[in-house]
């Protein structure tokens, strides 16, 4: 078995004090983001951290992704269902094939610059750079950036103009990402197994602009409106932030490469446990039974009558005096 770790792990001075780590240090292989291609080298991924660690692992694999086992060592842990206490037993159980998978869909995002469209006419032009293509697990966000003006963004679905977004921006998310930035902006929460794309406006200047869900098979095109007062900015799972100028466009489709996330129990239980534990979904005080309310009412009524009698006696005594 060959184990790959980030180069930063080998440079951690705290680990050098561990005899267990020193015993295996020379057997470990290292990689660096953006330099090493791990596509055909990795068969199984173990994430130790929070949700951001899983997003980072997704970013490393821009094509097919090996099964991911995510341990909760971060703060929120919505996407990390495994506890680290008995990790050896859990890893062995998974390696023996006793595990279910949730296929978390990703979005394929292509940034097409205005100049690239002009150069695409001449396919032999060697100066033409390929468009930026990234796969995201949570969401792609188009916003107004540092500008004080409203974003003015045109939204197309399969080539048809759907609407123009006037507000702080737009979130296009996967079902997995529906419980991230999108839910904070007022979107519904979608189970990761549902084939869909969520489109959520950010602070729209309209009372009727609600989030929508579209089929996973459509292509969305987002561009800066020709009469927009400013440009827009786009980020991919919070990374690779870049500016969208007038004439640029962002094309979003569902990728054919999902992230196979290993379940701690099963698809349904893991998701609802995360909703309850991380987001405290539908948590409220229990409504009391009518019998309980009746007892409280009787008790309160008696106390109130006694207090009224005492007050009357006091007032009568003062008058007589």
The answer to whether the beta carbons of residues 78 and 177 sit under 8 Å apart is no
Q: Which two tokens stand for residue 232?
A: 């827009």
Phi, psi of 104 (to 5 degrees): -90, 115
**Positive or negative, the Cα torsion across 300, 301, 306, 310?**
positive
**Positive or negative, the Cα torsion across 181, 187, 190, 195?**
negative
Catalytic residue among 16, 26, 43, 51: 51
Give 36's Cβ-side CA count (13 Å radius): 13
How far apart CA 78 and CA 268 sit, in angstroms, is 14
The answer to whether the beta carbons of residues 66 and 88 sit under 8 Å apart is no
CA distances (Å), 43 to each of 192, 234, 266, 294, 316, in order?
A: 22, 32, 21, 63, 90
Would you call 273 a catalytic residue per the annotation?
A: no
The answer to whether the beta carbons of residues 142 and 103 sit under 8 Å apart is no
Alpha helix (H) residue ranges in the chain = 7-10, 19-24, 51-60, 87-95, 114-119, 181-184, 267-278, 290-320
Number of other CB atoms surrounding residue 51 within 10 Å = 23
Nearest residue to 73 (alpha-carbon basis) of 47, 54, 46, 49: 49
Nearest residue to 203 (alpha-carbon basis) of 275, 278, 153: 153
Helix and strand element counts for the chain (H, E): 8, 18
Q: Which residues are catalytic?
A: 51
């Amino acid at each position: 078995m060959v184990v790959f770790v980030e180069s930063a792990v080998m440079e951690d001075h705290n680990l050098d004090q561990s005899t267990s780590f020193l015993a295996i240090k020379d057997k470990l292989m290292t990689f660096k983001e953006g330099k090493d291609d791990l596509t055909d080298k990795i068969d199984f991924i173990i994430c130790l951290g929070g949700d951001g660690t899983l997003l980072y692992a997704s970013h490393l694999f821009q094509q097919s992704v090996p099964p991911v086992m995510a341990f909760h060592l971060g703060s929120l842990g919505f996407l990390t269902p495994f506890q680290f206490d008995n990790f050896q037993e859990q890893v062995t159980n998974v390696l023996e094939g006793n595990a279910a998978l949730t296929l978390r869909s990703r979005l394929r995002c292509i940034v097409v610059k205005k100049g690239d469209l002009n150069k695409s006419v001449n396919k032999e032009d060697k100066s033409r750079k390929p468009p930026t293509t990234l796969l995201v697990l949570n969401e792609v966000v188009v916003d107004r950036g540092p500008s004080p003006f409203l974003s003015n963004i045109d939204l197309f679905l399969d080539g048809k103009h759907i609407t123009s977004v006037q507000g702080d921006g737009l979130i296009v998310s996967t079902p997995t990402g529906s419980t991230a930035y999108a839910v904070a902006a007022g979107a519904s929460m979608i189970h990761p197994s549902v084939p869909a794309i969520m489109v959520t406006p950010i602070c729209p200047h309209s009372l009727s602009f609600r989030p929508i869900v579209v089929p996973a098979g459509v292509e969305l095109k987002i561009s800066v409106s020709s009469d927009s007062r400013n440009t827009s900015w786009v980020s991919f799972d919070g990374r690779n932030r870049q500016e969208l100028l007038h004439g640029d466009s962002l094309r979003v489709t569902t990728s054919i490469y999902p992230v196979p996330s290993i379940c701690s129990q099963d698809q349904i239980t893991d998701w609802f446990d995360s909703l309850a534990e991380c987001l405290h979904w539908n948590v409220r005080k229990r409504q009391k039974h009518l019998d309980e309310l009746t007892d409280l009412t009787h008790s309160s009524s008696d106390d109130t009558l006694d207090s009224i009698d005492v007050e009357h006696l006091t007032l009568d005594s003062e008058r007589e005096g």
